[in-house]
Copies of this chain bind each other. A is one copy, B any other.
Amino acid sequence: MRVNIPETGQKRIVIVGGGFGGLTLARKLSKSDFQVILIDKQNHHQFQPLFYQVAMAGLEPSSISFPFRKAFQNHPNIYFRIAEILKVDSENNKIVTSLGIINYDFLVLAYGAKTNFFGNEKIEEKAFSMKSTGAALDLRNTMLSDYEQALIESDFDERQWYIDIVIVGGGATGVEIAGALAEMRKYILPKDYKELNAKEVDIYLIQGGNQLLQGMDPKSGDTAEQYLIERGVIVKKNSRVVDYDGEYVITQSGEKIKAGKLIWAAGITCNRLEGITELSYNKANRLLVDKFNRVENYENIYAIGDMAAMISDEFPLGHPQVAQPAIQQAKNLARNFKKLNNKEDWKPFKYKDLGTMATIGRNKAVAEIGRFKIKGFFAWLIWLFIHLYALIGVRNKLIVFINWIWNYFTYDQSLRLIINPKSTSNRRKK
């Protein structure tokens, strides 16, 4: 069955996924001569870099989300549908979605990446990940419920299970969560859970390599590590988690850590799509694209962002899987699409590195912008302003800003709500 979308006579660009890449592309094509159809599993764009603050009860999902329909209110050539892509039929220029069939003139794949558990199904089943606001809320609910349970648990070992947390992966996400958890232990727990001994709460950060924040300079990694150690985080480098049964986290060296929560931030991968030849993928399941983001072996299928691998001497594995390449590729592709009508030559994509950064806690961050390596309060301020600037929606910027100011001066926030009633019960199997 064909999805009910009017035929306008315009050439149709179908965009799959409304993350940084897909949303930017749709917006940039809003005043073009194309009919643009965006599909996404959710009805709203999510600002991934702040998922960890949702998990740590610092922000509400709504503050970092923006409804697609609102974004497109004044753009009559853009159509939105909540749908999931199931299959591409490239011979007939159509995709099969959960809603039905949609035909296209140009198809742009932009549905991003998912957590990579490297095939370990036991960990996948038991671990928390950080790839959606739903997952972030799930972690928040569980963490708060577990503190409640720990209060009434008199056995020391049992209590450890409720309160200890192991984070796997020392990239930006892992570092930021570890920092936020350590601040919660220091500022919130002694006030909210007076009956708990905050010193009993252990936070582990486990990193496979010998440096945190491996995309950054070793100095930045060392600074971040120093910050975390000062906050009491147990940082284990050159260590890998090989198993987790919900009871003990097991590392490669055989160490056992009793913990009820394992947060997995150790890597991402992409979903392969039925109908796209295997020849178009690299080993990391990213789609090989040319300088114009066109998927290899296809004429009118494109990929941008995390799922695209544009190989070059500078980036032999493709660009970093973060927001900036996605946004820049979307802008480049939009410009190129618009050239079609004038038969102009397309412009190849050129990545402009705007810098990388990670925040560890109040007044503490590391940033690398061009040749400059910055740390401490100033890096933290830059981090705040860049993230505020990048958030979509004036209301969101305002609400997040107020929350941050509030949290900064009160050392506290008041979002520690367990909203999902299912999580309030004891999740321990006894």
What residues of chain A have their CB less than 8 Å away from a CB belonging to chain B? 3-4, 6, 41-44, 60-62, 65-67, 69-70, 73, 76, 79, 81-82, 98-100, 133-134, 137, 144-145, 148, 151-154, 191-195, 393, 395-396, 398-399, 402-403, 406, 412-419, 421, 424-425
Contact = CB atoms under 8 A, between A and B. Distances in A.
B414 A43 contact: no
Contact of A151 (B4, B66, B144): B4
A42 B424 contact: yes
A412 B67 CA distance: 12
Nearest to A154: B4
Contacts of A82: 145, 148, 418, 424
A66 B152 contact: no
Given A61-B419, A100-B152, A399-B399, 8 more contacts: A4-B153, A4-B154, A44-B417, A60-B60, A67-B417, A70-B414, A81-B151, A82-B424
Nearest to A46: B417
Contacts of A194: 76
A42 B418 contact: yes
Contacts of A395: 402-403, 406, 413-414
A143 to B, nearest CB: 12
Contacts of A399: 399, 402
Contacts of A193: 69
5 contacts: A67-B192, A69-B416, A70-B192, A76-B194, A395-B413
Contacts of A144: 43
B416 A43 contact: yes
A24 B425 CA distance: 26
A359 B243 CA distance: 56
Contacts of A42: 417-418, 421, 424
Contacts of A396: 414
What 6 pairs across the A-B complex have the smallest Cβ distances? Answer: A69-B192, A4-B152, A73-B191, A44-B417, A67-B416, A43-B418
Contact of A41 (B41, B192, B424): B424
A413 B70 CA distance: 9
Contacts of A393: 414
A98 B421 CA distance: 14
Contacts of A62: 60, 415, 417
Most chain B CB within 10 A, of A3, A6, A65, A67, is at: A67
Contacts of A133: 419
Nearest to A406: B395
B153 A67 contact: no
A403 to B, nearest CB: 8
A164 to B, nearest CB: 19
B419 A70 contact: no
A150 to B, nearest CB: 10
Contact of A152 (B65, B99, B154): B99
A401 to B, nearest CB: 11
A354 B224 CA distance: 56
Contacts of A192: 67, 69-70, 73
Contact of A398 (B81, B402, B416): B402
A73 B414 CA distance: 12
Contacts of A402: 395, 398-399, 402
B66 A414 contact: yes
